[in-house]
Amino acid sequence: MTEKELFNLLNDMSFKEKIGQLNQLAGSFFSTKERNIVTGPLAKDGLLSKNKYLTGSVLGIKGAEDLIKIQKDFIENHPHKIPMLFMADVINGFETIFPVPLAQSCSFNPDLIKKAARITAIESAVSGLHVTFSPMVDLVRDARWGRVMESTGEDTYLNSIYAKAMVEGYQGGELKDEGSIAACVKHFAGYGAPTAGREYNNVELSTRTLYEDYMPAYKAAIDSDCAMVMTSFNTIDRVPVTANKDLLRTYLRKTLNFSGVVISDWQAIEELIYHTIAQDGKEAAELAIQSGVDIDMMSGLYLENLETLLEKNLITMDLIDESVMNILQLKNRLGLFENPFKDANILKEKEIVFCKEHNDLAKELTIKSIVLLKNEKNILPIIDKSKNIALIGPYIDSKETHGAWSIFADKNTNISILEGFKNLNPENDYEYSKGCEILDKDVALKGFEGEIEINKNDPNNLCNAVKLAEKSDIVIMAIGEHRLQSGEAASRVHITVPKIQEELFNEIYKVNKNIIVILFNGRPLELENINSKAKSILEVWLPGTQGGNAIANIVFGKESPSGKLTMSFPRSVGQCPIFYNEFSTGRPHVPNKDKDRFRSKYIDSSNSPLFPFGYGLTYSTCKLGDISIDKDTISLFDQLTSKITIKNIGNFKIEETVQLYIKDCSGSVVRPGRELKGFKKVYIEPGEEAIVEFIVKEDMLRFIRHDNTFGSESGWFVIYIGLNSVETKEIRFYLSK
């Protein structure tokens, strides 16, 4: 449709039709299939279902046959035959399930992540979907919060790169192109900083921190032409984002020039009442529409109140028309007026979804997402087939290995470790003993009924596992959080491996010291006990479909691990929030450098994380040469080149991620100890050496200055280059203005 035709349509629509476009229903109002996903409290059915043939969009259902039928029936019943949008949370794969986003981000490989997003889009589109509620780009610094699993970590620069990659992967060239779906960046804004890491809790961020650290990734998505923005549940400056005009009207629409569709999070408009800034549903609806929220996800308050608000002149028809037009334009960008079914195709769906090519890419990305945290005496990889290996732990033969938001996954297609090992080494008979269940009755997971059975633990499991460990050379122990202990509404104050599993680990350790831990989790965990005893720790996160195959490749040395942490692992939850680019403070504590009591430190723990941002081992050892720069002063318009050599002094071919950090030694506001400003992949054969160069320009040194302008300031800077955020070589340069 042309713009003119869209405006004619708008002017021809009845008021009820217009309000219908602003309303989103859950799939269960249209489809009886078991795959209806409800991700929040269900609103009042009556009101919503009686208006269902006017609704603008639906979330949480999929399937070409079902959605073609629903869309056909819907259009026949709609006065202007305006097709619905089908939306869903497809955040780490559709049916080919990729590792959770926090895992993917450890690949430091935006191209691979873009390809995974593309595959997600292709599978979603052929199954009838038009929009994914992804990328989630919330910066995270607190492992107590369960949704760190959905993020790409604690670094602003990296989150911005991944936000761009995912939006481009989902949306392709044009939204109407085959295989493209609209992306919806979330959760705008600052949702990743809930006080105390408690889900849906208040967010207290200074304006400078919000715009310096949290906002750039949303901006990167919007600059990549992201079609939608989802408002977050939280407050900013004590105003819930869903009613925050400063954020939505002034910053998002005007400063960022966003012209797409703003959707509330699930019932977030109704939650304005519980936030105590709206007396009732009417006031909540008024606040949200005035703030520019176009679609009401599942509260029904727009349906219920906008007509009254209009009659009382509390809102204008222009306001409603503006939101309706945003939605019609999105449908038009997707080509739905010409083809309301877009890519939905029953035959193609069978060919494309979960095809080998998609699985192959999933395996590649899963391998790259795995992080080797420890590898004493190079116990990994296991090359010597004569070794008698015991497979122990509840995750050895588990298929519960996909992230909590893998809403369309069929867990039976997940490759377990046992299957992956047998796929790689079919001639081997692996001895396996579960040892214990993933959870025991001490873990109260209210509301998860039906999704998590708290199995009664069979004490024989433990004895059998100990017996097996006693007679083995090596124990491969697969343990970790339950997959639903991370994700939405899964904040934890004890970020540990479930107690029953830690007890199993300790018992096994008593009879066998050669333990390789394979860790399944959606967040950084407290690992001091396990780290002090295990010979090796392989962080595999929640790896999804190809988990077992990817893990087998790494364990048996087909490839060296190459992942690097994008979120710090605290020694203790008491350190949270903890992140690499912290500030010096007025009393910096330099380990072993000061005996002074009065420093910024704990008296019962080190300040440092157990494993820092950017950290990850390979099967080889690399030696960094000296760092150099071609000039020690740059001005506004020139640049310097910094170089370093890296030599593979081990005997394994590896992929390393060389990281560039920069510290601003002084500014008009305090500046972080160091900030990631670049990274490069190097692939080095044993004995080989590579030279890595980074260009440093003035625009990499800009920040929100004291006067709130964005720019750099002259002065000294330090370049750090290394294989993680801590072990680096450094050199200074001066920026003159």
**Closest separation in Å from C-beta 488 to ligand GLC:** 6
Marked catalytic residue, from 89, 138, 265, 664: 265
Closest to 13 in 3D by CA, of 84, 86, 82, 85 = 82
CB of residue 86 to ligand GLC, shortest distance in Å: 13
Length of the chain: 737
Question: Quick check: is 265 catalytic?
Answer: yes
Rounded distance between C-alpha atoms, residue 432 and residue 468, angstroms: 8
- Three-point CA angle 346, 347, 352, nearest 5°: 100
Helix (H) or strand (E) holding 26: strand 23-26
Identify whether the C-beta of residue 554 lies closer than 8 Å to the C-beta of residue 561. yes
Separation between Cα atoms, residue 383 and residue 557, nearest integer Å: 7
Determine how β-strand 654-664 pairs with β-strand 715-722: antiparallel
- Shortest distance in whole angstroms from residue 262 CB to ligand GLC: 13
Q: For residues 304 and 281, give the distance between their C-alpha atoms in angstroms, rounded to a whole number.
A: 8
CA nearest neighbour of 365 among 650, 619, 166:
166
Shortest distance in whole angstroms from residue 298 CB to ligand GLC: 8
Q: Which is nearer to ligand GLC, 133 or 679 (CB)?
A: 133
CB of residue 299 to ligand GLC, shortest distance in Å: 12
Question: CA 137: distance to chain centroid?
Answer: 7
The whole-angstrom distance between residue 584's C-alpha and the CA centroid of its chain comes to: 28
Question: What's phi and psi for 629, nearest 5 deg?
Answer: -135, 150
Considering the complex, what minimum distance in angstroms separates the CB of residue 189 from ligand GLC? 13
DSSP-H helix ranges across 51-173: 64-77, 101-105, 110-126, 156-171
Please give the helix or strand (H or E) that residue 690 lies within, else none.
strand 689-697
Q: At its nearest, how many Å lie between ligand GLC and the CB of residue 41?
A: 10
| Residue 260: burial class (beta carbons within 10 Å; 0-12, 13-18, 19+) | buried
Beta strands 622-629; 639-648: pairing state: antiparallel
Geometric angle at alpha carbon 139, from 133 and 143, rounded to 5° = 105
Q: Which residues bind ligand GLC (CB under 6 A)?
A: 39-40, 59, 89, 133, 186, 265-266, 488
Question: What is the C-alpha to C-alpha distance for residues 245 and 286, in angstroms, rounded to an integer?
Answer: 12
Nearer to ligand GLC among residue 233 and residue 694 (C-beta): 233
Please say whether the beta carbons of 524 and 567 come within 8 A: yes
The DSSP element (H or E) to which 531 belongs, if any, is: helix 528-533
Q: How far apart are CA 249 and CA 241, in angstroms?
A: 11
- Closer to ligand GLC by Cβ: residue 211 or 266: 266
- Check if the beta carbon of residue 130 is closer than 8 Å to that of residue 330: no
In the bound state with ligand GLC, the residue whose beta carbon lies nearer, of 407 and 552, is: 407
Name which of 266 and 611 has its Cβ closer to ligand GLC: 266
DSSP secondary structure string for all residues of 508-575:
HHHH-S-EEEEEE-SS----HHHHHH-SEEEE--S--TTHHHHHHHHHTTSS------SS-B-SSGGG
Is 141 or 187 the residue whose CB approaches ligand GLC more closely?
Answer: 187
Query: Which candidate, 53, 62, 48, places its Cα nearest to that of 267?
Result: 48
Quote the least distance from Cβ 89 to ligand GLC, whole Å.
5
Contact of 521 with 348, CB cutoff 8 Å: no
User: Smallest distance, Å, CB 354 to ligand GLC?
Assistant: 22
Whichever of 41 and 79 has its CB closer to ligand GLC, that residue is 41
Q: Which is nearer to ligand GLC, 230 or 309 (CB)?
A: 230
Tokens 């017996």 map to which residue? 467
Instruction: Collapse the DSSP code of 648 into the 3-class scheme (helix H, G, I; strand E, B; otherwise coil) and give the result.
Output: strand
Provide the minimum distance between the beta carbon of 424 and ligand GLC in the complex, in angstroms, as a whole number.
36
- HSE-CB of 582 using CA atoms within 13 angstroms: 21
At its nearest, how many Å lie between ligand GLC and the CB of residue 707? 36
Name the residue among 293, 294, 285, 275 with its Cα closest to residue 315: 285
Amino acid (1-letter code) at residue 231 = T
- Backbone φ and ψ for 733, nearest 5 degrees, come out as -150, 165
- Catalytic positions are 265
